[in-house]
Amino acid sequence: MYTNLTPARAMLRLLGRHRGLWLLAALATVATVFLGYLTPILLSETIDCILSGHPSTLPAWLLDALRSLGATRAWVTEHLWFLAAALIAISVLNGAFSYIRGRCTALASENIAKDLRETLYSHLQRLPFAWHVKAETGDLIQRCTSDVDTLRRFLAAQVLEIVNALLMVAVALTVMLQRSARLTLYSLILVPALFFFAMWFFRKVRKHFRISDEAEAKMSAVLQENLSGVRVVRAFGQQRREEEKFETVSEDFRGKTLHLTNLLSVYWGGGDFLSMLQSAITLLVCVVLAVRGEITVGTLVLFTSYVSQLLWPIRQLGRTLSDSGKSLVAMERIQDILNAPVEPEEPDALKPDLSGDIVFDHVTFAYPDDGVPVLQDVSFTIPAGKTAAVLGATGSGKSTLVYLLQRLYEPTEGRITIGGVDLRRIDRSWLRSHVGLIMQEPFLYSRTIRENVGIVLRQPEEERIRRAADIASASGFIARADKGYDTVIGERGVTLSGGQKQRIAIARTLLKDNQILIFDDSLSAVDTETDAHIRAALRREAGHLTTLIISHRVTTLSQADLILVLEKGRITDQGTHAELAARPGLYQRINSIQTGLEEEFHRQEPGEVNA
């Protein structure tokens, strides 16, 4: 939606999404500016025209209108409440418009932010696996949160603030120039200085904001290290030194923040000085001109009011403009994400039955960034409904093999078929929905155990969740957790061990509509007995599914219908337990551990104990 545009244009496009609201907000802003200037005019007219008997300076059409309503000068003098009513009316109207402005701006900017967040989120979901493998998560989260927020703030407040300030200057100038050009000049003589001072200051001080933030980050880091290493600190009796260390960074942070505050006191002092001086100049010049009879008291009131109304927006304008560049940078950083291509849609993709044979036909795979093949010329067949086990050394390409089966990556050469259909022609979602893949280090969500197990379904039935947990041998530890299935996992709740996580991951995968099951060393962290237990339960429940298990446990491997030995990206041997156990090679070595154990027990005959 916002791809391949310059940041500025992308921002305009964002604004355009809710142009009705923006227009309304802008109109309301115009109204508030005009109404805001009416009160001083009313006061000035009261003083000059009603109280001092000078002729009115209101435009002729307005006077005519008032006269036709019967509100002549004489009548108003008799009915002074009319002035009060006018003042209240102006205030209330002004208030109404400023409410409309606030509400419309909020609606528009919050909707834009919402759209942008949703776009980002769903885009991130659709980006390919390979992109996520390389992604820097901290930076990404920053872009999705604080960059979006920078943009939102710009759109919510700053755009209209700029419009507002410019409009105020324009209107004030028009009214003031009509009264006295010379007085206008004196009344605004310091305004440019005020504007540039604010702009200059915030440009200058930006560095110090960053320095203070960095000092804070450093302090947090020391604190974090101390708290998470509290055992080490105590065990080595280093409380005193830790305190000194923290004291140093805390003091440093304090000093830098204080320095920043002191700088800001210069800004406020300077800005207020210029503002008050401008008010003083205006008053003094007014006095001189009034004494000479060149202006009226009403004009004095008008000018002093206008000047005081103008000064604040001008100061804000300088500040706003000095950091408006930030929002462009934020937009650019957001676009970086949106410009990354997602997994392509494939409208003609097939949704075949996946219970057939799985065939790897001379499959070679290399990661695009380095081109070094991870899998080379891999060929094997897992017959429908059978179980294959993969024995492979670390770095042999085992995990890549299973990723290929979910189309998380595509083979560089060769092809993979399921029931004779090339994987490339099978719809990704369909494939992934029916191929249950359990990773060695599964990602669990910071939710309750129940929600984690039922995560793939919209409304999982309690019974299915419990059943899946039973099969995965997870019910035991779930029952022991403080709140059972309602125990929250992760940062805000309990930390699970690696084996417990793996079991939850198995349970959640079982709730999918699987036709194929893949275990990527996903029982490695449970003990061998539980491992055997889980596999037995799976054989009963899902024994009819075509299954691929990666493992280094001989009991697991030996029970498979087919064992594949993967070394350095190549299949070096395949066959049944009996066949492979008879041939020298990796499998035979694994298999001989059993014998090794017996030998070891022999070495420790009871005689040795007594010795």
Partner 1 sequence: MQAVQEEDYTRRLDFGLWQKMLRLAKPFHRNLWIIVVTMLLSAGIDVALPMLNSYAIDHFIAGGTTEGLGWFSALYIGLVLVQVFFIVLFIRESGFVETGMCHHIRHLGFRKLQELPFSYFDRMPVGYLMSRLTSDTQRLGDTIGWSLVDLCWGAGFLVLCSAQMLILNWRVALVVMLVLPPLAVISWHFQKGILESYRQVRKRNSQLTSAFNEGINGAKATKTLVREELNTEEFREIAEGMRDASVRAATLSALFLPIVVSLGSLATAWVLWQGSGEVLAAQAAGVGMTVGVLQVFINYTVQFFQPVREIARIFAELQSSQAAAERVLTLLDTQPDIVDTPEVIERYGDSFHPKKENWPPIHGDIRFEDVSFRYKDGEQVLSHFNLHVRAGETVALVGETGAGKSTIVNLVCRFYEPTEGRVLIDGVDYRQRSQYWLQSNLGYVLQTPHLFSGTIADNIRYGRPEAADEEVREAARLVGAEPFILLMKDGYDTEVGEGGSRLSTGQKQLISFARAMLVNPAIFVLDEATSSVDTETEQLIQQAIQTTLHGRTSFIIAHRLSTIRTADRILLIQDGRIAEEGTHAELIAKQGAYWRLYTNQFQDEQGRKIVGAS
Least distance from C-beta 222 to partner 1, angstroms? Answer: 8
> Binding to partner 1 by residue 541, rule CB under 8 A?
no
Q: Per DSSP, what are the bridge partners of residue 547?
A: 387, 517
Closer residue to partner 1 (CB): 383 or 493:
493
Contact characters 56-95, partner 1, x per CB under 8 A:
---------------------x--xx-xxx-xx-xxx-xx
Question: Using the rule CB under 8 A, is 12 a contact of partner 1?
Answer: no
Return the SS3 of 543.
Answer: coil
Q: Does 297 bind partner 1 (CB under 8 A)?
A: yes
**Distance in Å, CB of 308 to partner 1, minimum:** 10
Separation of alpha carbons 592 and 555, rounded Å: 12
State in angstroms the smallest separation of the CB of 9 from partner 1: 24
Give the number of other Cβ atoms within 10 Å of residue 520's Cβ: 21
Which of positions 509-528 make contact with partner 1 (CB under 8 A)? 509, 512, 527-528
- The reply to whether 193 sits near partner 1 by the rule CB under 8 A is no
Cα separation, 170 vs 178, in Å, equals 13
> Residue from 268, 341, 425, 579 that binds partner 1 (CB under 8 A)?
268
Tokens read off for 248: 């140093």
Q: Do residues 467 and 432 lie in contact, with contact meaning Cβ atoms separated by under 8 Å?
A: no
Q: SS in 3 state form for 414-450?
A: EEEEECCEEHHHECHHHHHHHEEEECCCCCCCCCEHH
For 551-594, strand residue ranges (E) read 562-567, 570-575
Residues 581-610 close enough to bind partner 1 by CB under 8 A: 586, 589-590, 593-594, 596-597, 600-601, 604, 606, 608-609
Within positions 306 to 365, which residues make up the interface with partner 1, using CB under 8 A?
A: none
Binders of partner 1 in range 123-162 (CB under 8 A): 124-127, 129, 132-133, 135, 137, 140-141, 144-145, 156
The closest alpha carbon to 455, from 518, 520, 506, belongs to: 506
Q: Measured between alpha carbons, how far is residue 492 from residues 127, 445, 450, 454, 607 in Å?
A: 28, 11, 16, 19, 54
User: How far apart are CB 443 and partner 1 at their closest, in Å?
Assistant: 4
d(CA 506, CA 504): 5
- For the bound state, the minimum distance from the C-beta of residue 151 to partner 1, rounded and expressed in Å, comes to 14
d(CA 29, CA 107): 15
Alpha helices (H) along 446-544? 449-453, 462-471, 475-480, 498-510, 528-542
Residue 19 lies near partner 1 (rule: CB under 8 A):
no
Exposure string for 403-432, b = 16+ CB within 10 A, e = fewer? bbbbbbbebbebebbbbebebeebbbeebb
x/- map, 200-229, partner 1, by CB under 8 A: ----------------x--xxx-xxxxxxx
- Closest to partner 1 by CB, 47 vs 538, is 47
State which amino acid sits at residue 550.
Answer: I
Go through the chain and tell me how many residues it has.
Answer: 611
Task: Note whether 290 binds partner 1 by CB under 8 A.
Answer: yes
Stretch that binds partner 1, among 6-14, 160-168, 240-248, 362-370 (CB under 8 A): 240-248
Question: Does residue 8 touch partner 1 according to CB under 8 A?
Answer: no
User: 89-128: which residues touch partner 1 (CB under 8 A)?
Assistant: 90-92, 94-96, 98-99, 101-103, 105-107, 110-111, 113-114, 117-118, 120-122, 124-127
Nearer to partner 1, 275 or 327 (CB): 275
Kindly indicate which of the ranges 183-191, 253-261, 313-321, 375-383 contains the residues binding partner 1, using the contact rule CB under 8 A.
253-261
d(CA 58, CA 55): 9
Residue 235 beta carbon to partner 1: minimum distance, rounded to whole angstroms: 3
Of the pair 492, 540, the CB lying nearest partner 1 is at 492
CA 526 to chain centre: 35
User: Residues touching partner 1: how many (CB under 8 A)?
Assistant: 159
Phi, psi of 436 (to 5 degrees): -85, 120
Closest to partner 1 by CB, 344 or 606: 606
Tokens 């694994």 belong to residue: 590
Task: Compare residues 8 and 230 and give the one whose CB is closer to partner 1.
Answer: 230
- For the CB of residue 12, give the shortest distance to partner 1 in the complex, in Å: 21
CA angle 159, 160, 165 (to 5 degrees): 105
Asked if 51 is part of the footprint of partner 1 (rule: CB under 8 A), the reply reads yes
* Structure tokens belonging to residue 491: 């940062």
Binder among 23, 273, 329, 576 for partner 1 (CB under 8 A):
273
* Residues 422-451 as x/- pattern, contact with partner 1 by CB under 8 A: -------x--xx---x-x--xx-xx-----
Q: How far is the CB of 328 from partner 1 (least distance, A)?
A: 22
Assess contact for 160 and 105: CB atoms under 8 A.
yes
Residue 192 Cβ vs partner 1, minimum distance, rounded to whole Å: 20
3-state class of 399 per DSSP?
Answer: helix
Binding of partner 1 by 170 (CB under 8 A): no
- Distance between CA 158 and CA 152 in Å, rounded? 9
For the chain, counts of helices (H) and of strands (E): 27, 10
Least Å from the CB of residue 408 to partner 1: 6
Q: How far is the CB of 6 from partner 1 (least distance, A)?
A: 25
**Side chain identity, residue 141:** I
R_g of the chain computed on alpha carbons: 38
Which residues, 379 to 408, sit near partner 1 by CB under 8 A? Answer: 391-394, 406, 408
